[in-house]
Chains A and B, each alone.
Chain A
Amino acid sequence: MPKNKNGKQKMSRRKFLKTASGAVAVGLLAKHAPRAKASATKSQSLGPGQVEIKLNVNGKDRVLKVEPRVTLVEALRERLGLTGTKRTCDHGECGACTVLLDGRAVCSCMTLAVNAQGKKIITIEGLAQGKLLARLQKAFVQHGAMQCGFCTSGMIMSLQALLDQHPKATSAQIRTAIAGNYCRCGALPNILKAANAVARA
């Protein structure tokens, strides 16, 4: 097995995703055609090299060419310029890259761009209506629920997913919803205040 840049004799995340993508594709196909025979899915291998994909981001279809190993967060940020979605760990440990995929909060660093096709992707840039901030966004500003702001997008997206499903979420549900989002500045007390204000409004 190749060494990654830290010399570890283990698979890097990117390599892991690259290898796993075939299997994920099988899974997706199976979901849409549950009765299809396993053999029918064998042709689903992409790359190497760039492939054309279509992503539905914040209500708009975007066509771009990416290598199959490109993650959703890389495609959003480096290719589409939607840099509001942040990246701090690249291992699904920090939650800063959280986006909504068909309404579910997912780590876009753990999702391949090719596998996000056919789903509705909502990023932090897609929450406000023109200059009108979404309720959570407004509450975050009012309650000072951010310091450096680097975790803010992920926090808001995780909470948005919760509040979309449970508009009157309890304080405990709110804590659980952001348990996978880290904040080093210590904005958490005000983040909880902001989220609770929206859930109690």
Chain B
Amino acid sequence: MSPYGRAGRGAQAPPPQDVKKKKLKAKVGLAQKPQMVEIEVPEIELPVWDLDAKLKIVGKAAPRIEGSEKVTGQAKYTLDYTPLDLPGLLYAEVLRSPYAHARVTSIDASRAAALDGVKAVMLIAKGAGFDASNALLDVVAEGPVLHPADREVIAEGEEVAVVAAVSEAIAEDALELIDVKYERLSHVVDYEDARKPNAPLVHPGTSSNVIPADPSTAGDIAKGFAEADVTIERNLRVPVLLHNCAEPHAAVARWEGPKLTVWASTQGINDFRDDLAKAFKMDKADIRVITQHMGGGFGSKFGMQNYGALAALMARQAKAPVKLAYDRHEENQVGGNRPNATMWIKIGAKKDGTLTALQCRAYGTAGVGRDAAVTNVMGIVYKCPNRKLEDSDVYTNAGTGLPMRAPGFPQGSFAIESAMDDLADELKMDPLELRRKNMVDLPLLALDEMYTIGAEKIGWSRRAGMGPKMDSPIKRGIGMGTAVWPNYSGPPAVSRVTIAPDGSVESAMAVQDLGTGTWSIMAMVTAEELGIPLEAVKVTLGDTRLELNAPASGGSVTALSITPAIRLAAADARRKLFDKVAPAFQAKPEDLVCEDGKISVRGRPGPALTWKEATAKLSAPVSGHGERLPNVEPYGGLPLWGAQFAEVEVDTETGLVRVVKVVAVHEAGRVINPATFEAQIHGGVMMGLGLALLEKRFMDKPEGRVINPNLEDYKMIGPEELPEIETVIVEPITPMNNVGGKGIGEPCTVPTAAAVANAVAHALGVRVAELPLTPDRILDALAAKKEA
């Protein structure tokens, strides 16, 4: 199951029945180590873009096709809808609980409703049957009630009332006129406190804040440790992180009679629409969700959530379009966060480094929500026959956790990679050799090659001259970690490619671009398949009205869920075009080819038609249809791999860590656009550096509030901290889909913090067990080492 839930639903798609199959050969793997494989695919499938494929557009770095819209301020985001676009647009503001746990004893909004310019006021109550795992949806699942009796709020920022007014300022004024009386109840925001027997209960009706672990096991853990010559045990911690997407959660809703249109900053327009249909008991066909451009999600914007529901509810009540956007403070109270974790890890190995046992017990808090799991990465990153992995959720009175770029993996990676390095120390073995020794056995794995490239680029051999023995207060170190992320790409994804008589081509799908480069790869794959220039293709996306289903963008699924379907649609459209132009060549349609925008008969020299001459023979546009076929197994089950190396400088007098360089070596099978692929890696690495060095949500324990819900006190990597990032792309082509590729969004952030932490441990000769690696922790670790 994907940690993104529906985002990775492709993996759960039922296999199609009674599909006629054919056998195809493909030359896959690395160019320097090619392998011929035979795969069985549905009759309609195209040959894989394998090592022999001669591609002209795919694989060549191309600027974003939406680039000029973005640099001129013309790209339209949800937040950019104004009364000039939607006359009468109202602004909604939400009154939120200032307390982490309280009962609303009385609420009076009459003064707010009477304020000039206020068009709607709504009080919110929780529905019956509160489902903690779905805390966000539940608030509105039962609809609004006007007089919530004994309303209990269980986290700071929980919605209490909403106002829609003609300006933001008036809506804010109105919030101040709502009289709410709260009876404060005891709360707990610290997950260690929440585990104590007498802790206040976060969810009324439960008996404990701790959800027991459901262990994932392999082999015999006791036997594994008995067989080990050396064991290492560590306790490691990571903090709660905040997504802080640039564009906040925002929705603009407009009703036209029974029909609803919502512009939303969302990672999944189709799921957003489905959630609205469920909440408002409407036919999906009566709802349209639009996302043309969106300012980042990183996992925090799946589904309708409260911002979507409240915008639609307020628009209905006010009988006018409504814009509802979180401000930065709200964003960091209720817009999601990455759960923290305490990880006790124990690994055992033979003298030669072979792992015999791996055990981890972890717990963390996703606030009032669930899914703080961090051990999944440990089950797949290295080969170990005996494993026992346990994750336990702890409820606290804080905003719900939501998936954040590779949920659970960067945290778990920090634990296992730290343990691996400390094990290597104990075994007096090179840490990289220890990894090589324990690589998993999987087809087409190019990890060994990635280790070699990364080690060379970072200068791994220089490690010997680094570390605490260096004759300077500033010590250097080099560390590394392995990137891994499961493949969740797959069906469903439906594409339509339309060729018009004027030669223009439209590639359409109801998918969204979070900023990853979806606009461009849709155009590139369409142009490549048709044999025409990139500029000839126009992309249409981000609108559920297209009725061309696509997955939510998360879990690294988008590129390789959608592009194989686009190829099929383009090929279908081309077939229809060739049917029309074949008579002009006195040839069969299947003998025609299009290359570089010229159509000719395969193998026959002679006159060719230009693309426009050919399309001019169409009396009307022709559309091709393509559906994403299931992944070809066993390749579809193979993870996405990479390796990252970091070099650091640590000032042992001030405790300051400076990352000098990161080398990020990644594979994703066939890379469609190396420019946006590399950009993804930059982003993943920078987020990982934030986890390593700076980022942490602080809670005020007595008051139960987020202390740093802003961009001043929540520190992220900026230009002053940015190290050199060298990216290396390795391309072991996969036959799992017709494009030959996988994905990149998440694996590139998995091992960064671990690599930095290992580099710091190498520099200091002591392990700093908690992220971020702030100066105080560095100095404490050095002091503890001195004492020992």
A interface residue numbers (CB < 8 A to B):
2-8, 12, 14, 67, 69-70, 74, 77-79, 81-91, 93-94, 96, 123-125, 127-128, 133, 136-138, 140-142, 144, 146-153, 156, 174-176, 178-179, 182-190, 192
Closest to B157 in A: A6
CA separation between A189 and B168, bound complex, in Å?
A: 36
Q: Is the CB of A141 within 8 A of B246?
A: no
Q: Which 5 A-B pairs have the closest CB atoms?
A: A84-B73, A7-B98, A148-B515, A186-B683, A150-B295
Contact flag A144-B63 (CB < 8 Å), given A7-B99, A81-B82, A185-B296: yes
Q: Is the CB of B719 within 8 A of A83?
A: no
Max chain A C-beta neighbours (<10 A), residue from B74, B83, B246, B248: B246
Cβ of B304 within 8 Å of any chain A Cβ, yes or no, is no
Residues on A with beta carbons closer than 8 Å to the beta carbon of B83: 78
Contact flag A93-B711 (CB < 8 Å), given A81-B84, A147-B516, A153-B73: yes
CA separation between A7 and B684, bound complex, in Å?
A: 35
User: Could you give 18 example pairs across A and B, Cβ below 8 Å?
Assistant: A5-B176, A6-B333, A7-B99, A78-B168, A79-B82, A81-B82, A87-B79, A94-B246, A94-B328, A124-B72, A128-B72, A141-B63, A146-B515, A150-B245, A150-B296, A151-B246, A188-B718, A192-B722
Max chain A C-beta neighbours (<10 A), residue from B85, B243, B685, B719: B719
Interface majority SS (helix, strand, loop, mixed), chain A: loop
Closest to B678 in A: A144
Cβ of B76 within 8 Å of any chain A Cβ, yes or no, is yes
Interface majority SS (helix, strand, loop, mixed), chain B: loop
Residues on B with beta carbons closer than 8 Å to the beta carbon of A125: 72-74
Q: Is the CB of B719 within 8 A of A188?
A: yes
Interface-facing stretch out of B7-15, B89-97, B472-480, B566-574: B89-97
Cβ of B365 within 8 Å of any chain A Cβ, yes or no, is no
Cβ of B783 within 8 Å of any chain A Cβ, yes or no, is no
Q: Is the CB of B328 within 8 A of A89?
A: yes
Residues on A with beta carbons closer than 8 Å to the beta carbon of B94: 5
Q: Is the CB of B683 within 8 A of A5?
A: no
Q: Is the CB of A186 within 8 A of B79?
A: no
Residues on B with beta carbons closer than 8 Å to the beta carbon of A69: 169
| Contact with A124, one of B73, B79, B80 (Cβ below 8 angstroms) | B73
CA separation between A81 and B74, bound complex, in Å?
A: 11
Q: Is the CB of B172 within 8 A of A4?
A: yes
Q: Is the CB of B248 within 8 A of A88?
A: yes
Closest Cβ of chain B to A134, distance in Å, is 8
Closest to B170 in A: A67
Residues on A with beta carbons closer than 8 Å to the beta carbon of B74: 84, 125
| Contact with B63, one of A82, A123, A142, A176 (Cβ below 8 angstroms) | A142
Residues on B with beta carbons closer than 8 Å to the beta carbon of A174: 719
Closest Cβ of chain A to B365, distance in Å, is 21
Cβ of B682 within 8 Å of any chain A Cβ, yes or no, is yes
Residues on A with beta carbons closer than 8 Å to the beta carbon of B327: 89-90
Max chain B C-beta neighbours (<10 A), residue from A4, A85, A151, A184: A184
Q: Is the CB of A147 within 8 A of B72?
A: no
Given A14-B172, A144-B64, A179-B720, 13 extra CB contacts under 8 A: A4-B175, A5-B172, A7-B96, A89-B327, A128-B72, A146-B70, A148-B294, A148-B296, A149-B515, A150-B296, A151-B246, A184-B683, A184-B716
Residues on B with beta carbons closer than 8 Å to the beta carbon of A142: 63
Q: Is the CB of A186 within 8 A of B686?
A: yes
Closest Cβ of chain B to A38, distance in Å, is 30
Contact flag A147-B515 (CB < 8 Å), given A93-B711, A140-B71: yes
CA separation between A5 and B247, bound complex, in Å?
A: 20
CA separation between A14 and B549, bound complex, in Å?
A: 43
| Contact with A179, one of B66, B70, B73, B719 (Cβ below 8 angstroms) | B719
| Contact with A150, one of B157, B246, B680, B686 (Cβ below 8 angstroms) | B246
| Contact with B80, one of A77, A127, A175 (Cβ below 8 angstroms) | A77
Residues on A with beta carbons closer than 8 Å to the beta carbon of B716: 182, 184
Closest Cβ of chain A to B302, distance in Å, is 16
Q: Is the CB of A184 within 8 A of B172?
A: no
CA separation between A71 and B5, bound complex, in Å?
A: 41
Contact flag A137-B246 (CB < 8 Å), given A144-B63, A144-B679, A186-B684: no
Contact flag A188-B686 (CB < 8 Å), given A5-B175, A133-B71, A149-B70: yes
Closest Cβ of chain A to B266, distance in Å, is 13
Max chain B C-beta neighbours (<10 A), residue from A88, A125, A127, A140: A88
CA separation between A9 and B99, bound complex, in Å?
A: 13
Q: Is the CB of A89 within 8 A of B682?
A: no
Residues on B with beta carbons closer than 8 Å to the beta carbon of A82: 73
CA separation between A85 and B244, bound complex, in Å?
A: 18
Cβ of B631 within 8 Å of any chain A Cβ, yes or no, is no
Contact-residue bracket for chain B: 35 or more
Which B residues between 239 and 265 are near A, CB-CB below 8 angstroms? 243-248
Closest to B330 in A: A6
CA separation between A64 and B573, bound complex, in Å?
A: 51
Residues on B with beta carbons closer than 8 Å to the beta carbon of A127: 72
Cβ of B710 within 8 Å of any chain A Cβ, yes or no, is yes
Q: Is the CB of B73 within 8 A of A85?
A: yes
CA separation between A152 and B725, bound complex, in Å?
A: 21
Q: Contact string, B529-563, partner A, CB cutoff 8 A, digits 1/0?
A: 00000000000000000000000000000000000
Closest Cβ of chain B to A199, distance in Å, is 14
Closest Cβ of chain B to A128, distance in Å, is 5
| Contact with B169, one of A67, A187, A189 (Cβ below 8 angstroms) | A67
Max chain A C-beta neighbours (<10 A), residue from B516, B685, B711, B718: B711
Residues on B with beta carbons closer than 8 Å to the beta carbon of A8: 98
Closest Cβ of chain B to A157, distance in Å, is 10
Closest Cβ of chain A to B215, distance in Å, is 35
| Contact with B682, one of A133, A182, A186 (Cβ below 8 angstroms) | A186
CA separation between A78 and B82, bound complex, in Å?
A: 5
Closest Cβ of chain A to B337, distance in Å, is 14
Q: Is the CB of B329 within 8 A of A6?
A: yes
Closest Cβ of chain A to B117, distance in Å, is 11
| Contact with B245, one of A2, A87, A184, A189 (Cβ below 8 angstroms) | A184
Q: Is the CB of B63 within 8 A of A147?
A: no
Residues on B with beta carbons closer than 8 Å to the beta carbon of A152: 70-71
| Contact with B328, one of A2, A88, A136 (Cβ below 8 angstroms) | A88
| Contact with A93, one of B85, B685, B712 (Cβ below 8 angstroms) | B712
Cβ of B149 within 8 Å of any chain A Cβ, yes or no, is no
Q: Is the CB of A144 within 8 A of B295?
A: no
Closest to A143 in B: B63
Residues on A with beta carbons closer than 8 Å to the beta carbon of B711: 88-89, 91, 93-94, 182
Contact flag A149-B293 (CB < 8 Å), given A6-B98, A81-B82, A187-B682: yes
| Contact with A140, one of B67, B167, B328, B515 (Cβ below 8 angstroms) | B67
Q: Is the CB of A189 within 8 A of B73?
A: no
CA separation between A86 and B79, bound complex, in Å?
A: 9
Closest Cβ of chain A to B415, distance in Å, is 24
Q: Is the CB of A141 within 8 A of B68?
A: yes
Q: Is the CB of A186 within 8 A of B93?
A: no
| Contact with A144, one of B245, B294, B675 (Cβ below 8 angstroms) | B675
Q: Is the CB of B246 within 8 A of A86?
A: yes
Closest to A189 in B: B682
| Contact with A183, one of B64, B97, B246, B247 (Cβ below 8 angstroms) | B246
CA separation between A81 and B79, bound complex, in Å?
A: 12
Residues on A with beta carbons closer than 8 Å to the beta carbon of B168: 74, 78
CA separation between A159 and B397, bound complex, in Å?
A: 42
Q: Is the CB of A6 within 8 A of B96?
A: yes
CA separation between A93 and B716, bound complex, in Å?
A: 12
CA separation between A147 and B63, bound complex, in Å?
A: 11
Cβ of B77 within 8 Å of any chain A Cβ, yes or no, is yes
CA separation between A116 and B685, bound complex, in Å?
A: 40
Q: Is the CB of A149 within 8 A of B710?
A: no
Max chain B C-beta neighbours (<10 A), residue from A125, A175, A185: A185
| Contact with B75, one of A123, A137, A149 (Cβ below 8 angstroms) | A149
CA separation between A104 and B56, bound complex, in Å?
A: 45
CA separation between A152 and B82, bound complex, in Å?
A: 20
CA separation between A85 and B75, bound complex, in Å?
A: 11
Closest to A141 in B: B67
